[in-house]
Amino acid sequence: MSEYNSMEMMICVAARFMEDGCSAVVGTGAPCAAGMLAQKTTSPNMLILFEAGGVAPLLPTMPVSVGDSRTTWKALMASSMTETMSLTARGMVDYAFLGGAQIDKYGNLNSTMIGNDYRHPKVRLPGSGGANDLASNCWRVMVITPHEKRRFVEKVDFITSPGYLEGRSSRDDSGLPADTGTYKIVTNLAVMGFDNPERQMEIETLSPGVTVEEVQENTGFELLIKSDVHETEPPSKETLRILREEVDPHKYIIGR
């Protein structure tokens, strides 16, 4: 029996990418858990922001929404979405955690609709909220998501949040800030990045016991494979203890 489940693994791995002193806009759920865990382990000086306006709170417990009163607990600011978005537009936010129903090989995200007719979609999704602003202006975008072929598609049905658009220099050429874009995709199977000239999704590390073939079987397009692919380091017992006892003791997220 595994000492941790896939959600715990994804949260712990995502938290490692948050260097001490960084700033990150987190949503509720796994991204918030990753931010809280980072603060309590390797990144005590990490600055957390919420889309609804909470800036640098000392989260007492897991908030249930981006407007939860806990997102402003002992915060530097209890402002508004306008203030959060203006901070990203000024280049002051390092990371944004985003998600969507679809993601393609260039890191573009779709949370708007499924189908080929915007006015008559097969499925109408929640839409952007502030996701487009965050994907456009934050320096690095992080995604935590289950790895399923229906999510990882060759081309998203609608670009809600831009990644590298059509690859190579197309993001820069579009006028979006230089050196920004999708940074890491953390799934239950692997960690993937875009650090290559094509700006295509590339396997960097594999979850324990997972093969490259298994990742490819669950992806709707051909993945690039880094030359030095290795196993993702599993979470330590102490990190799991903090996640379970201090970050999410009621298992709102890790119990999924």
Instruction: Band the pLDDT of 141: cuts 50, 70, 90.
Output: very high
Task: Please write the tens of the pLDDT for every residue from 188-208.
Answer: 999 999 999 999 999 999 999
CB atoms within 10 A of CB 25: 30
The three-class DSSP label of residue 142 is strand
| CA 165 – CA 167 distance, rounded (Å) | 6
The single-letter DSSP state of residue 74 is T
pTM for the model? 0.96
| CA 152 – CA 250 distance, rounded (Å) | 31
CATH class of the domain whose range is 6-247: alpha beta
pLDDT score for 2: 64
Domain assignments of the chain as residue spans, ordered by start: 6-247
CB 128 within 8 A of CB 161: yes
Instruction: Band the pLDDT of 1: cuts 50, 70, 90.
Output: very low
Task: Please write the tens of the pLDDT for every residue from 219-254.
Answer: 999 999 999 999 999 999 999 999 999 999 999 999
CB 102 within 8 A of CB 148: no
Residues 141-146: what's their mean pLDDT? Answer: 98
Q: Is 233 among the residues known to form the active site?
A: no
Strands of 43-129 (E only): list them: 47-49, 54-55, 77-78, 95-98, 102-103, 109-110, 113-114, 123-124
How big, in percent rounded to 5, are the helix, strand and coil portions of the chain? 25, 20, 55
Helical axes 30-40 vs 6-16, angle rounded to 10°: 50
Task: Please write the tens of the pLDDT for every residue from 47-94.
Answer: 999 999 999 999 999 998 999 999 999 999 999 999 999 999 999 999
pLDDT score for 207: 98
3, 8, 51, 148: which one is catalytic? 51
